[in-house]
Amino acid sequence: MAPHPPGKWLRLPPRVRWIGWAVVLTFAVWGGSSVRDRILRLTSDTETGPLIRSREAGLLFLVGGGELPERVSREFLELAGGHEARLVVIPGASVDELELDRYREEWRDRGALDVTVLHADSRTVANDPRFSEPLLHANAVWLGGGQQTWFTAWYRGTLVENRLKELLARGGVIGGTSAGASAVSAVMVAGGRRGEPVISNGLGLLTDAVVDQHFFKRNRPGRLMTLLERHPELIGLGIDEGTAAVIELRSQRMTVVGDSYVMAVASNGSSKFPRIEVLKSGDSLTFDQLRRPPASELPVWLEDAILTAE
């Protein structure tokens, strides 16, 4: 088969591309191990190991939504300092006083003794130094579920955002679930269905990757792949429910913990296809490893099937 010119894949109609991704992901998550390894695995020097325990660099602990498994919440609290964690919780929607108490009690039940809940009702409040003072003393923050545009409407560009970045700079941990996970990136998935993402600006805590959540549960690979076609400079992270991607910002090493999978995607200028890795709990890689050119292209039979579907 004659080689196809670079970029031909990206010029295919969206429906054809989605068929291709569906085939790839089916083999990646549910297919036979030999085919899955040929398509998805990184080069043999990919390291695996325990979760990062460093307190010398900031950590992001991003959960794809759904029920928070006990081992996932336990890992977050251990990274935050265990019973000594000074935790600030920021809801991702408008909540009343009773709901604020519920947020506080949920984390106390999980083992956090020092829990403060911050909930701004205006950008003026979010810029008040007294409101965000607890962030100066915290070593961990949890961004709740809800709507990612809630976080950006009230907190983007405010003193709260600045103090979140300061917390990461001094080695703190910022976790989030669902909307709270998506809101951390600079380029943010604000919504959209299937292959038509709504793109907005996030809090900018993670500058070189974009996060999508409820990923396999709500069939969102097409949405993420379309976004990456528009922003090929970014790493794409699709995080499923009950699962966390833990990212050490200094080394850009990501480790997965939880019940399902994280799909990591990087465009490669020398390849017709992006590099895709589907990681389970305990798997680990760096963004630099993900960006390396793959050892081989997709199998010829799979490339033929995709291109002849045009």
Helix axes 159-169, 148-155, angle to 10 degrees: 100
pLDDT at site 51: 58
List, for residues 11-41, the tens digit of each pLDDT value: 455 544 554 554 455 444 444 333 334 333 3
Does residue 2 carry a pLDDT above 60? no
CB 9 within 8 A of CB 226: no
Q: Which residue has the higher pLDDT, 242 or 295?
A: 242
Q: What is the pTM of this model?
A: 0.81
| Domain segments of the chain as ranges | 8-307
- Is the distance from CB of 276 to CB of 36 less than 8 angstroms? no
pLDDT in tens, 168-182: 999 999 999 999 999
Rounded to whole angstroms, the Cα distance separating 205 from 126 reads 17
Task: Tell me the pLDDT tens digit for each residue of 115-162.
Answer: 999 999 899 999 999 999 999 999 999 999 999 999 999 999 999 999
* Of 9 and 111, more confident: 111
CATH superfamily of 8-307: Class I glutamine amidotransferase (GATase) domain (3.40.50.880)
pLDDT for residue 175: 98
Alpha-carbon distance of 32 to 43, in angstroms, equals: 19
User: Does position 288 have pLDDT exceeding 80, yes or no?
Assistant: yes
Distance of CA 13 to the CA centre of its chain: 27
Mean pLDDT of 183-194: 92
Sorted by sequence, the CB contacts under 8 Å of residue 178 that are 6+ apart come out as 63, 64, 65, 66, 92, 145, 146, 213, 214
